[in-house]
C-alpha cells in the first residue's frame, strides 16, 4: 500500500492508522514556583516540617499508639531533596527533619547534607529523642544541621520507663551531652507535660537544661495519645511558686520559627507551647510533609496532597507547585483540637510527623 493510500479511504487506507494528534494540556505559568507561598488565610509559609520516618525506637505513650504500624513506602533521599527544592523556590527558608525518630534512618547524614545544600534553605533543624546523638551529634553538625530540638520528659529512670517502656534514658543523657559539646547554634529541650506523671519535675528540668546550654520548652499534651494535659498558665504558676522568677517576653521578640511563647528566667529562656489553651494557629507559618510524601496542610486535619505519587509519576516542578498551592488553599483557620469528637479522627503524632 502506498503512503498516499493511507490518507485515502477509497484506496484502502485509514485515517486511524495515523498517530493521533493530541494537544498538550495547558501548563500553569512558572510563577506558581515563585514566593510568596500563602495558605487560605493569607498566612505566609516559610517553614517546612519534613518527616523522614514514622517509626521510632521509643514508642512513648502520648505519641505512638500500640496499634500504629507505620508507613512502608518512605521517601528516598533524592525525593526528599526534590520536594525541599520545590518548596525552597516557593519561599520556604527553614526545614525541620522529624519522625518518628529521624536518626534511625541509616542515610540520615546523606539526607541532612542534601537538604542543607538546597539553594534558599537557611536553617536545617532536627527533632529527636537524642538516643543516637552520642555518635551522630558532631557528624550532623558537620553535615549542615544548625539546630536540635531534643526530647526529655523526665530526669527519673522510673518515670522514663513509665512513659516509654522501650526507651533508654542513659542513651538519651549521653546524647544530650554530645549535643551540648558539638557547637550547635540552637539547642532546645522539649518536655511534654503529663499530669501526675512528670509535672512536678518542671523546676528540675529547667535547671538541667540551662546548666547545659539548652532552652527548655514545656508542651501541652495534644489529643493524640494517652495522658492528661497541664495548662500552661498552671505550669507557669508552679514554676514561679518554686522560686523561679519568670518574666514574659513581648510577642515580637519571640522565636518566629515556631509556636512557643518565651519567658525570661535568671539563667536563660523558658518556652511554652500551648496548642489547647493559647492557640498558636493565627501565626502559623508551617507546612508538613509526612514520611510517605503526603503533604498535610494542618496538624489537626486530614486534607493532603500525594506529592510522592506526583514525583514518581513524572510530575514537573510546576505541577508539584500547583498541588502544593491547592492543598494550602484548603488549610483551615485553626486546628480544632478541642471540638467535641475531633480527637477520634486525628492521626497519631507519628503519623503526621509531629
Cα gap 59→101, rounded to integer Å: 10
The model's confidence at residue 239, banded by pLDDT at 50, 70 and 90, is: very high
The continuous run of DSSP H or E covering 263 comes out as: strand 261-265
Mean pLDDT of the chain: 85
Q: Residues 81, 116: contact at Cβ < 8 Å?
A: no
pLDDT at 205: 98
pLDDT in tens, 202-237: 999 999 999 999 999 999 997 766 789 999 999 999
335, pLDDT greater than 60: no
pLDDT at 13: 42
Sequence-ordered alpha helix ranges (H) in 197-316: 202-211, 232-241, 307-312
127 is in an annotated binding site: yes
pLDDT at 234: 97
Share of the chain above pLDDT 70, in %: 77
Pairing of strands 294-296, 186-193: unpaired
Q: Residues 269, 279: contact at Cβ < 8 Å?
A: no
56 is in an annotated binding site: yes
pLDDT at 142: 98
pLDDT at 319: 96
Q: Is 35 exposed, middle or buried (0-12, 13-18, 19+ CB in 10 A)?
A: middle
Cα gap 236→187, rounded to integer Å: 21
Sequence-ordered alpha helix ranges (H) in the chain: 3-6, 77-89, 108-116, 133-143, 157-163, 169-181, 202-211, 232-241, 307-312, 317-328, 349-352
Mean pLDDT of 310-325: 96
The model's confidence at residue 6, banded by pLDDT at 50, 70 and 90, is: very low
pLDDT at 40: 85
The model's confidence at residue 284, banded by pLDDT at 50, 70 and 90, is: confident
Poorest-confidence range of 239-248, 289-298, 332-341? Answer: 332-341
208 is in an annotated binding site: no
60 is in an annotated binding site: yes
Cα gap 160→197, rounded to integer Å: 10
pLDDT at 198: 97
Share of the chain above pLDDT 90, in %: 63
pLDDT in tens, 246-261: 999 987 544 556 689 9
Which structural domains are found in the chain, ordered by start? 29-338+345-352 (3.20.20.70)
pLDDT at 18: 44
Cα gap 269→248, rounded to integer Å: 10
16, pLDDT greater than 60: no
298 is in an annotated binding site: yes
> 108: which strand partners?
none
pLDDT at 304: 75
63 is in an annotated binding site: yes
100 is in an annotated binding site: yes
pLDDT at 275: 82
**Predicted TM-score (pTM) of this structure:** 0.84
281 is in an annotated binding site: yes
288 is in an annotated binding site: yes
pLDDT in tens, 71-113: 668 999 999 999 999 999 999 999 999 999 999 999 999 999 9
Question: 282, 312, 250: which is closest to 39 by C-alpha?
Answer: 282
Amino acid at each position: 500500500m502506498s503512503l498516499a493510500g493511507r490518507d485515502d479511504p477509497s484506496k484502502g487506507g485509514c485515517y486511524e492508522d495515523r498517530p493521533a494528534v493530541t494537544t498538550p494540556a495547558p501548563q500553569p505559568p512558572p510563577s506558581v514556583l515563585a514566593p510568596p507561598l500563602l495558605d487560605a488565610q493569607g498566612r505566609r509559609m516559610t517553614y517546612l516540617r519534613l518527616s523522614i520516618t514514622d517509626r521510632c525506637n521509643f514508642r512513648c505513650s502520648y505519641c505512638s499508639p500500640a496499634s500504629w504500624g507505620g508507613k512502608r513506602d518512605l521517601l528516598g533521599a533524592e525525593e526528599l531533596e526534590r520536594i525541599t527544592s520545590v518548596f525552597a523556590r516557593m519561599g520556604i527558608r527553614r526545614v525541620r527533619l522529624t519522625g518518628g525518630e529521624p536518626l534511625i534512618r541509616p542515610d540520615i547524614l546523606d539526607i541532612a547534607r542534601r537538604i542543607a545544600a538546597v539553594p534558599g534553605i537557611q536553617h536545617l533543624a532536627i527533632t529527636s529523642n537524642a538516643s543516637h546523638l552520642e555518635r551522630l551529634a558532631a557528624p550532623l553538625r558537620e553535615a549542615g544541621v544548625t539546630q536540635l530540638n531534643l526530647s526529655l520528659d523526665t530526669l527519673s529512670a522510673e518515670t522514663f520507663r513509665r512513659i516509654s517502656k522501650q526507651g533508654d534514658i542513659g542513651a538519651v543523657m549521653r546524647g544530650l551531652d554530645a549535643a551540648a559539646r558539638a557547637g550547635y547554634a540552637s539547642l532546645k529541650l522539649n518536655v511534654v507535660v503529663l499530669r501526675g506523671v512528670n509535672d512536678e519535675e518542671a523546676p528540675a528540668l529547667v535547671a538541667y537544661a540551662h546548666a547545659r546550654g539548652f532552652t527548655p520548652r514545656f508542651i501541652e499534651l495534644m489529643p493524640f495519645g494517652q495522658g492528661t494535659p497541664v495548662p500552661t498558665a498552671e505550669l507557669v504558676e508552679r514554676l514561679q511558686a518554686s522560686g523561679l522568677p519568670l518574666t514574659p517576653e513581648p510577642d515580637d521578640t519571640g522565636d518566629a520559627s515556631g509556636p512557643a511563647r518565651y519567658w525570661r528566667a535568671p539563667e536563660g529562656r523558658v518556652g511554652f507551647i500551648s496548642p489547647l489553651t493559647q492557640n498558636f494557629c493565627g501565626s502559623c507559618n508551617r507546612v508538613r510533609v509526612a514520611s510517605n510524601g503526603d503533604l498535610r496542610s494542618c496538624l489537626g486535619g486530614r486534607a493532603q496532597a500525594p506529592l510522592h505519587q506526583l514525583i514518581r509519576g513524572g510530575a514537573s516542578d510546576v505541577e508539584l507547585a500547583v498541588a502544593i498551592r491547592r492543598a494550602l488553599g484548603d488549610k483551615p483557620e485553626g486546628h480544632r483540637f478541642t471540638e467535641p469528637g475531633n480527637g477520634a479522627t486525628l492521626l497519631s503524632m507519628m503519623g503526621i510527623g509531629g
